[in-house]
Amino acid sequence: MASLALVGTGWHSRLFREEISALVGDIEILHPRIVSCENKRDTIHKLGRSSLLDEVLIMGGNSLLPSSSKSQVDLCEKIGEWALESMEEGDFAVRARKIGDLPDSISSRIFENAVGRVVSANGRKVDLEKPSNEIVIVIAGSNDRTSHPDPFNPGEVMITWGLKEGRWSKQDFSGRSPTERPYFKPISLEPRQARLLISLASIPGRDEPLVIDPFCGTGGIAIEAALQDFQVLASDLDSRMVDGTKQNLNWAGKECTVERWDASNLSELWGSREGCAFVFDPPYGRSSWKSDDSVEIFLSVLNEAMKIDPRGVVSTMLPAGPDILDSESPGDSFVMGRKWSELMKEINGIGWKVSLFCPIRVHRSLVRVIVVCHPSD
Higher pLDDT, 290 or 349: 349
Predicted confidence at residue 187, as pLDDT, reads 78
Residues in a beta bridge with 17: none
Alpha helices, DSSP H, located in 160-265: 191-200, 220-226, 239-251
234 three-state secondary structure:
strand
Q: How many Cα atoms are found within 13 Å in the side-chain-facing hemisphere of 191?
A: 22
Q: Can you tell me the mean pLDDT for 21-36?
A: 96
pTM: 0.94
Predicted confidence at residue 145, as pLDDT, reads 61
Predicted confidence at residue 146, as pLDDT, reads 61
Predicted confidence at residue 364, as pLDDT, reads 65
Delineate the domains of the chain, giving CATH numbers in brackets: 3-164 (3.30.2130.30), 178-375 (3.40.50.150)
197 three-state secondary structure:
helix
Predicted confidence at residue 1, as pLDDT, reads 63
Is residue 290 predicted with pLDDT exceeding 60? no
Is residue 289 predicted with pLDDT exceeding 50? no
